Chains A and B, each alone.
Chain A
Amino acid sequence: MPRAPRSPRRPVLLAVAALASFAAGSVATGSDVEDVAERTVVTVLPNGLTVLTLEDRSTPVVSFQMWVKVGSRDESWYTGLAHLFEHMMFKGSKRIAPELHAQLVQARGGRLNAFTSRDYTVYFEDVTSETLPLVIALEAERVANLDISEKTLASERQVVLEERRLRSEDNPNGRAMEALMALTFKAHPYRRPVIGWRSDIEAATVEACRRFFDTYYAPNNIVISIVGDFDGGEALAHVRREFGRLEPAAEIPRNPTREPEQRGERRVSVHFDLRGPILMAAWHAPPTGHPDAEALDVASQILSHGRSSRLYRRLVYEGQQALYAEASYWELLDAGVFYGVAGVRPDASIERVEALFFREIARLRDEPVSDAELEKGKRQLEVMLVNGLVKAHAVASRIARDTAAFGRIRPLAERLEAIRSVTVEDVQRVARTYLVDEKRSVVQLLPPPGGER
């Protein structure tokens, strides 16, 4: 992300041509929820740019998002290049001085930022409607005319190194996560930290940034979504005029590497000056959009959503060993991860935390979950889907992500149906399929040996 936390304490700084019906998804409760996303107008420009427009005049906000289908998985030489490049998108273009893009949007009260993940690079502006034409012009300007100079790269490289120190090198969770991904993936580029290794951030060149830009920032590799208080026809005309002149790329190269099967547990200890050790674990899981996704989501709800969840009860409440304990299914394009983390109390033992954590994973494999837990987990997921309709920004993210990943927007009704059809047997089956001991990777983040901090 180009923008830092406002304060160190509270980090700030975060889906063809068709017009769908008004079909309403019905939450298990019987109350009908209209899925506004089904009113999305999908337009594909001749140069391949996909534009999603969804008017909702009941909100005072319009969210503009540009999802570029490139992430750290696509880097071929310098790790961290996708993220470093994202920073450079704020450093000026032919007609816009460095930093001016952000200043212009902020001076109109807009909220803007960008983030890079393993699969995507996303730029967004949440504004009031009168600022939307400016936002469209500014986004098109930097995609058409980005200017990367030695001078701006030199200073921004230092900014990114500070970001790396903040998030990874001095941050216990960042350290542990870096170690976990490097352990879980031996071949696939998901093993690299999104921010990149220090040596690569220090070495990346202007030429490499330009090549990356030319390769991946093509209109046929971009999805734009606009949601909220705006006029769809006008906005579409603006987007056509500003983005229509961009040339499509003949081909978007993708990394061919796939992760070979893991045969045997992997384990590493990382030493760090800290009082509360951290346990992290990961299992290989299916990529995004897989039919087992909902069962894995239900499993993670049963494990760690709310104070009646299994991990909270065993590790935090009854065991008094951890301050938090969570598990979640993490969907990525090429390969998913089922991820676990526990914050060990300074007065407790990480070995005990690990034993308790893995006992709960084993229970999911060995015993069917109760009907009450199943229903609870499903209900929580349904409510989360409804909560995702509250803000224009969240809706814009959902429709852009779906479109980038699947080429379509998955209707709420479809997703509710997938959640509702999960059975007790499904949860046990996915636990037995994916959450096996021989396929897990374990990181213990510990104080240095010798008892001295």
Chain B
Amino acid sequence: MSAARRALLVLGPCLALACAAPWSRPIWERPPPPSRDGPVVQPGSLHRTDLDNGLRVLVLEDRRLPRVSVGVTFRRGEAIVELAKAGLAPFTAELMKRGAGSRDALALARAVDEIGASLSVAAGWDSMSVGVAGLSRDLDRLLEILADVVLRPRFERAEARKARGEQLALLEKQKDDPGTLVRWQVARVLYPEHRYGLPFEGTPASVARLDARAARAFQRRVMLPNDAILFASGDVSAADLLERAGRLFGAWKPANVPEVGPTVPDPTPPGRRVVVVDRPDLVQAHITLAHEGISRTDPERIAAALMNSVLGGSGFSSRLMARVRADAGLTYGVWSGFALRRQPGPFAVGTFTRVSEVRRVVDLLLGELERAREVPPDAAELRDAQTLATGRFALGLETPDAVIASLVDLDVYGLPEDALDTYRRRVRATTTADTERAARRLLHPQRAAIVVVGPAEQLTPQLEDLGAVSVEQP
């Protein structure tokens, strides 16, 4: 038998079994097989309708398990709150969990807990959201609770006093967390005079001013049917849900929608600012480098995300992780990313290291930021970032709740309805020229503020030649 003939005989069954022939390269040296781009939602399972009062209704049917999530999201959040009342959106959200309709705080909690359900009222920079989830047989009760909390919150004064006390206590306790101290300080340095410059939860002075009346006024201003999306996912019928939505929310009166606010923040000024938050007890310093970033709707956001993925957004695979963790053993984790909000939020690079090595790490971070501009992602780096993004996309949409949350997010920011369907195509269409342009436009190591939390006595000498170091108390 000829060699060729023998080879064919071996090859045949191997192909049939889809196994690796002994002479072929190991599987990890072969290019990845193409991913299958299945539809994001099963055809016919997603329903979209607008009620007469402007309320948008989104329903995703998925009957695999007897569970259901329903909620209402509003397209305004903490970003429209004036500086003096910073923290009003999370305060309002908390108060809305403390009594609605005929139920006071405890009765509402019992109504939720006794059916094993969950109730969340969440505040974000750009949205407010009320959600309930539980078993689908309890849909009547879940919708009744949802309608009560959205339309008939009680805003009792005694509850406002308690909630305010808790929010103040939380602000104080959060100073125990070095990561929070870094975040607050970065915001303060980057956004003077702007709402983004104060902690999301407010300050002791602003929270002290919050009361039931302010929360009620904010709720009336923001929670309008013509600025809201009612969503449901799981074991529900769209027709049935629409009918119920009309009954529960149809009489809700529309009104004028508030301005988006705030004004666009100024870009980070030139020149280096170095801030140390003094925590003498820490053995590990937390480090963040930051400057202005991009908005959620920036036309270059996909190129920016892919560029950032190569730099520090992709965990184990990023340049920063290779450099600072794997090669140098200087940290357990390092990341970079854009805070995507309606107005440009910060771009930040963050990590933590033993106090004695802070300067070395700061130099590595600055060096990688420079390199990201000078040596932008090459074709192989971009390809890996693209397949990472498209693969993660599929993983991120495993559950109906995740799909509906993504659709609601698109709506909040006025992005195209089909953005999920086109996402993978847009990722694949991105070129190295696109990511190079994004790196040059969006990374500014020379004017990145450097914020470090740790013992000032040991940190200041390490950082002094980078610029005047201002030392702050927590």
A residues apposed to B, CB below 8 Å? 3-9, 12-13, 27, 29-33, 58-61, 90, 95-96, 98-100, 102-104, 106-111, 126-131, 133-134, 137-138, 154-163, 165-166, 169-170, 172, 234, 237-238, 241, 272-276, 305-309, 313, 316-317, 320, 323, 343, 345-348, 372, 375-376, 379-384, 386-387, 389-392
Find the B residue at minimum CB distance from A3: B315
Residue of B116, B117, B138, B322 ringed by the most chain A CB atoms within 10 A: B116
Among B4-12, B24-32, B190-198, the stretch that binds chain A is B24-32
Do A111 and B162 touch (CB < 8 A)? no
Enumerate B51-80 residues with CB–CB distance to A below 8 Å.
64-67
**Shortest beta-carbon distance, A193 to chain B, in Å?**
15
Among B85-93, B149-157, B172-180, the stretch that binds chain A is B172-180
24 contacts between A and B (CB under 8 A): A4-B325, A7-B335, A8-B178, A33-B66, A107-B384, A109-B388, A109-B391, A109-B393, A128-B391, A128-B394, A130-B35, A137-B27, A156-B329, A165-B284, A166-B284, A272-B281, A275-B173, A276-B173, A308-B112, A308-B113, A320-B166, A380-B116, A386-B135, A390-B65
Find the A residue at minimum CB distance from B315: A3
Is B389 in the interface zone, CB < 8 Å from A? yes
Partner of B398, one of A106, A110, A306, A392: A392
Do A162 and B315 touch (CB < 8 A)? no
Residues from chain B with a CB closer than 8 A to the CB of A379 are 114-116
B residues apposed to A, CB below 8 Å? 17-19, 26-28, 32-36, 38, 64-67, 97, 105-106, 109-110, 112-117, 134-138, 162, 165-166, 168-170, 172-173, 175-176, 178-180, 182-183, 279-284, 286, 314-317, 322, 325-335, 337, 350, 352-354, 383-384, 387-395, 397-399
Do B27 and A106 touch (CB < 8 A)? no
**Shortest beta-carbon distance, B431 to chain A, in Å?**
18
Partner of B19, one of A58, A241, A323, A389: A241
- Contact A158 B330, CB 8 Å, known A130-B35, A307-B113: yes
Do B398 and A166 touch (CB < 8 A)? no
Residues from chain A with a CB closer than 8 A to the CB of B64 are 58
Find the B residue at minimum CB distance from A7: B335
**Shortest beta-carbon distance, A244 to chain B, in Å?**
13
Find the B residue at minimum CB distance from A136: B27
Do A159 and B110 touch (CB < 8 A)? no
- Contact A155 B135, CB 8 Å, known A102-B317, A103-B317, A109-B395: no
Find the B residue at minimum CB distance from A379: B116
Partner of B332, one of A30, A58, A166, A238: A166
Do B395 and A386 touch (CB < 8 A)? no
Partner of A109, one of B67, B113, B392: B392
Residues from chain B with a CB closer than 8 A to the CB of A129 are 36
Q: What 5 A-B pairs are tightest by C-beta distance, nearest first?
A: A109-B391, A4-B333, A158-B329, A8-B179, A383-B116
Partner of B66, one of A3, A276, A313, A386: A386
Residues from chain A with a CB closer than 8 A to the CB of B393 are 109
Residues from chain A with a CB closer than 8 A to the CB of B26 are 95, 137
Instruction: Given contacts A241-B19, A275-B175, list 10 more A-B pairs with CB under 8 A.
Output: A8-B179, A60-B395, A60-B398, A107-B32, A111-B395, A158-B329, A159-B325, A276-B172, A376-B113, A383-B134
Do B35 and A275 touch (CB < 8 A)? no
Residues from chain A with a CB closer than 8 A to the CB of B110 are 308, 376
Residues from chain A with a CB closer than 8 A to the CB of B66 are 27, 29, 31-33, 386
With the chains together, A238 CA to B18 CA distance in Å? 10
Do B329 and A159 touch (CB < 8 A)? yes
With the chains together, A346 CA to B204 CA distance in Å? 13
With the chains together, A159 CA to B323 CA distance in Å? 12
With the chains together, A348 CA to B172 CA distance in Å? 12
Do B322 and A29 touch (CB < 8 A)? no
Do A170 and B283 touch (CB < 8 A)? yes
Do B113 and A306 touch (CB < 8 A)? yes
Do B286 and A162 touch (CB < 8 A)? no
Residue of B180, B350, B391 ringed by the most chain A CB atoms within 10 A: B391
Do A6 and B112 touch (CB < 8 A)? no
Residues from chain A with a CB closer than 8 A to the CB of B281 are 170, 272-273
Residues from chain B with a CB closer than 8 A to the CB of A9 are 179-180, 183
Do B387 and A109 touch (CB < 8 A)? yes
With the chains together, A9 CA to B328 CA distance in Å? 24
Find the A residue at minimum CB distance from B28: A104
Do A29 and B314 touch (CB < 8 A)? no
Do B397 and A162 touch (CB < 8 A)? no
Do B317 and A106 touch (CB < 8 A)? yes
Find the A residue at minimum CB distance from B474: A275
Do A307 and B97 touch (CB < 8 A)? yes
Residues from chain A with a CB closer than 8 A to the CB of B330 are 158, 162
**Shortest beta-carbon distance, A270 to chain B, in Å?**
13
Do A109 and B105 touch (CB < 8 A)? no
Residues from chain A with a CB closer than 8 A to the CB of B315 are 3, 6, 12, 102, 106
Do A128 and B36 touch (CB < 8 A)? yes
With the chains together, A32 CA to B64 CA distance in Å? 11
With the chains together, A109 CA to B399 CA distance in Å? 17
Do A162 and B173 touch (CB < 8 A)? no
With the chains together, A61 CA to B391 CA distance in Å? 10
Find the A residue at minimum CB distance from B326: A99
Do B165 and A320 touch (CB < 8 A)? yes
Residue of A158, A161, A172 ringed by the most chain B CB atoms within 10 A: A158
Residues from chain B with a CB closer than 8 A to the CB of A127 are 391, 395
Residue of B65, B280, B328 ringed by the most chain A CB atoms within 10 A: B65
Residues from chain A with a CB closer than 8 A to the CB of B322 are 99
**Shortest beta-carbon distance, A14 to chain B, in Å?**
14
Find the B residue at minimum CB distance from A138: B28
- Contact A106 B397, CB 8 Å, known A8-B352, A111-B392: no
Residues from chain B with a CB closer than 8 A to the CB of A95 are 26
Residue of A12, A241, A386 ringed by the most chain B CB atoms within 10 A: A386
Residues from chain B with a CB closer than 8 A to the CB of A98 are 326
With the chains together, A345 CA to B164 CA distance in Å? 13
Residues from chain B with a CB closer than 8 A to the CB of A391 are 398-399
Residues from chain A with a CB closer than 8 A to the CB of B327 are 155
With the chains together, A348 CA to B165 CA distance in Å? 11
With the chains together, A133 CA to B17 CA distance in Å? 12
